[in-house]
A and B are shown apart, each in its own frame.
Chain A
């Protein structure tokens, strides 16, 4: 009974204050969408790091027939040069840094290339001779890449030493910047949402001062006086949070699952599972912010 009564009060409050409630819903929705986007972008980075950092290696490309690198004056790498590089990788000076290394021949390079560009027409035309042979080196500590680069760059028969991680770092920094921007916008929007919830509750308390005045006189407890207003804010925020979660889910489902993930098969993408991890936190955040800001407002504007 009591619950029914309070819910009835909440319902009448929401109806009487509809335009403000809609604006709270929208502002919460937008701000939480940005928060969720930032969270998902960070998850995407983590996902990619986990996927790539194991695979990504330092590649020591060896000279081919037509390379013009400084160490490639004599044309393709010779058997002896290759042996020298291999023994250098196994030497005492280098060993502490290297977890393992393996030689990738032109043929293996071609196989990998074909796997990677499965659909594109390029894979048909490329031949093994066009691809360089290389040593793929996994480092114990990927940060120590510079040492390996210095040691091998100057060796004869080495075309170029590439840290594949550097390429990834560029992508990560772009995603990072994007997620910081999202967080920044989210911060401003959340501030808006909190203030708007406060204003809405204030207006609602004003519109219903007659009811609350009577409730106070007939001995309504503090909680039954305040609860309808707090619930009003919380329900608006909850609707906003659910909308935000829904939009994020749709974005991931239709943009990533159905498009990006199909186009870039060898990249790990977040999926709707991650949205389901983020959504409860968005809902919690929305509800807590709305609850706190309505309670703070009520302390000033609703005498008990």
Chain B
């Protein structure tokens, strides 16, 4: 569904030539995400998660390598066809991005109006989508009358209103409390079970650990880890010589893919790494 081949993204190419400090947003990333996958994208801020998502949307074009979405090399899509690519991708953000002067129904209908759906199609489809995200009976509410979790459900409903094959979520639970987050994750899971590929960038370790889905960890633009049913962190408890315990990041520079130590907990999804 989504394939990155040796993708490098350098934001400011000029300064890179001038100095050694400039660091690419993504550095030689190769990964494949299959149809129907549910993948978490984890990593510190600045590790390249957003770059990853923006490349899929073709908000930016990779400076090296190629990004394929649904079999198309997005860099080769002419600019007037980019909207068509984006119609096949839904996006959800941390800050919901609802239109404050439109009610719930209108917010979801907006996505369908924009792509020119007929009034009757909108009337039929919007209640279905709202039901899927668990907002039946709240069509007439304004966004400021909704809780954060409900607002995010509206945003998800809007993202899937045009039946995209891919749903990108950029920290969708970042502004929500744990209990509400679980509700949102259930919605995303339901959408995934209907066949939509979901990629979710997140910092929420509780969610990642409990969902047991594929985890892709980025660090400084490189893929550090890609596990088919992983946990948020690969940090391991270490007992120091003086007897204190601490969590220490697995050493990435010497970290090898067929590491025997972790495999019992987190087997690597090696097929996805192979071109």
Q: Is B57 interfacial (CB-CB < 8 Å)?
A: yes
Given known A-B contacts A210-B99, A222-B80, A217 and B118 have beta carbons under 8 A apart = no
Question: Which of chain A's residues 1-48 have a Cβ closer than 8 Å to chain B?
Answer: 1-2, 5
Given known A-B contacts A210-B97, A211-B99, A217 and B91 have beta carbons under 8 A apart = yes
CA distance A1 to B84 in the complex (A): 19
Q: Report whether A1 and B110 are in contact in the complex, using a CB–CB cutoff of 8 Å.
A: no
List residues of chain B with CB within 8 A of the CB of A216. Answer: 83, 86
* Interface residues as binary, B147-168 with A (CB distance below 8 Å gives 1, 0 otherwise): 0000000000011011000000
Q: Report whether B162 and A218 are in contact in the complex, using a CB–CB cutoff of 8 Å.
A: yes
Q: Report whether B57 and A220 are in contact in the complex, using a CB–CB cutoff of 8 Å.
A: no
Q: Report whether A217 and B86 are in contact in the complex, using a CB–CB cutoff of 8 Å.
A: yes
Q: Report whether A304 and B79 are in contact in the complex, using a CB–CB cutoff of 8 Å.
A: yes
List residues of chain A with CB within 8 A of the CB of B209. Answer: none
Question: Which of chain B's residues 65-91 have a Cβ closer than 8 Å to chain A?
Answer: 79-80, 82-88, 90-91
List residues of chain B with CB within 8 A of the CB of A215. Answer: 110, 114
Binding site for B on A (CB under 8 A): 1-2, 5, 210-211, 213-222, 224, 304
Q: Report whether A220 and B115 are in contact in the complex, using a CB–CB cutoff of 8 Å.
A: yes
A219: nearest chain-B partner, CB-CB: B87
A8: nearest chain-B partner, CB-CB: B113
Q: Report whether A220 and B97 are in contact in the complex, using a CB–CB cutoff of 8 Å.
A: no
List residues of chain A with CB within 8 A of the CB of B80. Answer: 221-222
Q: Report whether B113 and A222 are in contact in the complex, using a CB–CB cutoff of 8 Å.
A: no
List residues of chain A with CB within 8 A of the CB of B87. Answer: 218-219
CA distance A242 to B262 in the complex (A): 76
* Interface residues as binary, B82-114 with A (CB distance below 8 Å gives 1, 0 otherwise): 111111101100000101000000000011011
CA distance A214 to B99 in the complex (A): 9
Q: Report whether A5 and B83 are in contact in the complex, using a CB–CB cutoff of 8 Å.
A: no
Q: Report whether B115 and A219 are in contact in the complex, using a CB–CB cutoff of 8 Å.
A: yes
Q: Is B137 interfacial (CB-CB < 8 Å)?
A: no
Given known A-B contacts A210-B97, A210-B99, A211-B99, A218 and B79 have beta carbons under 8 A apart = no
Q: What are 5 contact pairs spanning A and B, CB under 8 A?
A: A211-B99, A214-B158, A217-B86, A217-B91, A218-B87
Q: Report whether A218 and B116 are in contact in the complex, using a CB–CB cutoff of 8 Å.
A: no
Among all A-B residue pairs, the 5 with the closest Cβ atoms: A219-B87, A219-B86, A218-B111, A219-B83, A220-B114
Q: Is B141 interfacial (CB-CB < 8 Å)?
A: no
Q: Is B117 interfacial (CB-CB < 8 Å)?
A: yes
Contact residues of B: prevailing secondary structure: helix
Pick from A213, A217, A219: contact of B84, CB below 8 A. Answer: A219
Q: Report whether B99 and A1 are in contact in the complex, using a CB–CB cutoff of 8 Å.
A: no
List residues of chain B with CB within 8 A of the CB of A224. Answer: 114, 116
Q: Report whether B57 and A217 are in contact in the complex, using a CB–CB cutoff of 8 Å.
A: yes
Q: Report whether B114 and A219 are in contact in the complex, using a CB–CB cutoff of 8 Å.
A: yes
CA distance A2 to B122 in the complex (A): 12
B122: nearest chain-A partner, CB-CB: A1
Additional A-B contacts beyond A211-B99, A218-B114 (10; CB < 8 A): A1-B113, A1-B116, A1-B118, A1-B119, A5-B113, A210-B99, A211-B110, A214-B114, A219-B84, A219-B86
List residues of chain A with CB within 8 A of the CB of B79. Answer: 222, 304
Q: How many Å from the CB of A221 to the closest CB on chain B?
A: 5
Pick from B82, B115, B118, B119: contact of A218, CB below 8 A. Answer: B115
Q: Report whether B97 and A213 are in contact in the complex, using a CB–CB cutoff of 8 Å.
A: yes
CA distance A214 to B158 in the complex (A): 10
CA distance A2 to B88 in the complex (A): 20
Residue with the greatest number of chain B CB neighbours at <10 A, chosen from A1, A216, A219, A224? A219
